[in-house]
Amino acid sequence: MTSNNKPSEQDAAIGNRIQRTRMALGLSRLSVSKKLGIGQMQLRRNETGENRVPADRIIQLADILGVSPDYFFADFSSTSEFQVLSHFVNTAEGIALNQAFNQIQKPDTRAGLVALVDACG
């Protein structure tokens, strides 16, 4: 948080990553908030960066979402890259793409698809 106790840009980035991951997995805010033992409004505030996500909740979220806690802190090369990525992932197309990718069970197939998309770019 910044010195005036308002959430920082990093808090918003962590919250956004939580929301994108939850949505990509097809999980509702209600189901995740119940698993966390908090209300939907508190989870929304965490996801929007309005409230900072406590460390213990990050660990719980990582377990619920099937990622490691450090996933929420991944560096982006620049804020603008993050903004572009964040914008795309929050579109209907980005959500559909993530949901479809999440349904691929075989790691080799996932890796092959990523390599194919990289080759197209």
Q: What's the pLDDT tens digit per position in 59-72?
A: 999 999 988 888 88
Most confident of the following: 5-9, 34-38, 95-99, 112-116: 34-38
More confident residue, 68 or 14: 14
Per-residue model confidence (pLDDT) at position 62: 92
Q: Tokens for 120?
A: 């197209």
Give me the amino acid identity at 109: T
Alpha-carbon distance 19 to 32, whole Å?
A: 10
Per-residue model confidence (pLDDT) at position 81: 62
Alpha-carbon distance 22 to 15, whole Å?
A: 11
Nearest partner of 65 among 91, 95, 33, 93, judged by Cα? 33
Cα distances (Å, whole numbers) of residue 75 to 14, 20, 31: 11, 16, 28
Per-residue model confidence (pLDDT) at position 79: 58
Q: Tokens for 52?
A: 């900072």
Q: Residues 72-120: pLDDT tens digits?
A: 887 655 556 666 777 777 788 888 888 888 899 888 888 888 888 878 8
Helices (H), the chain: 9-24, 29-36, 40-48, 55-65, 79-89, 92-102, 107-120
pTM: 0.61
More confident residue, 27 or 88: 27
Per-residue model confidence (pLDDT) at position 40: 96
Q: In this predicted structure, which of 10-19, 42-51, 79-88 has the lowest mean pLDDT?
A: 79-88
Please tell me the CATH code under which domain 1-74 is placed.
1.10.260.40
Alpha-carbon distance 79 to 76, whole Å?
A: 7
Alpha-carbon distance 39 to 34, whole Å?
A: 7
